[in-house]
A = this chain, B = another copy of it.
Amino acid sequence: MKVIIASGADTPIYQQIFEQVSAQILNGDLPRDFCLPPIRTVAKELRISVITVKRAWEELERAGFIYTMVGKGCFVAPLDPQMLDVKKEVLVGDRLKKEIQYDKKLGLSLEELLALVKKYYEES
């Protein structure tokens, strides 16, 4: 498990963690039943508050990415591949849709937009 915090960013820290961990789960980088490190450890390593890590874990659990066994730790939930695609679409969908609507309102043509997307995808 690997997380990098951008403390100056406008997205809250807990959400940054959520995005990165969920991405790694959907990716397959973190297999099912993988045991996440204890929140205190994560907090210490990232030099952030325990509360913030806990918040991220809560969001992950609510989204069905992990499950908690009291006294033992948090584990990656089993996801069948179909569920996986559904989750991807949900996670991507709203954000992407909003972004595209905005870009369209700005007067960007579909061609311009696709070109930008391609460019940014290859750059990153």
Residues of A whose CB lies within 8 Å of any CB of B are: 7-8, 12, 19-20, 22-23, 26-28, 62, 67, 69-70, 88, 91-93, 95-97, 99-108, 110, 113-114, 116-118, 120-124
Contact = CB atoms under 8 A, between A and B. Distances in A.
Interface SS of chain A: helix
A101 B121 CA distance: 7
Given A99-B96, A99-B99, A27 B117 contact: no
A72 to B, nearest CB: 9
Nearest to A100: B120
How many copies of the shown chain assemble into the complex? 4
Contacts of A27: 105-107
Closest 7 CB pairs between A and B? A23-B105, A100-B120, A101-B124, A27-B107, A97-B120, A23-B106, A99-B99
Contacts of A28: 107
A116 B101 contact: no
A67 B103 CA distance: 24
A23 B100 contact: no
B7 A69 contact: yes
Contacts of A26: 106-107
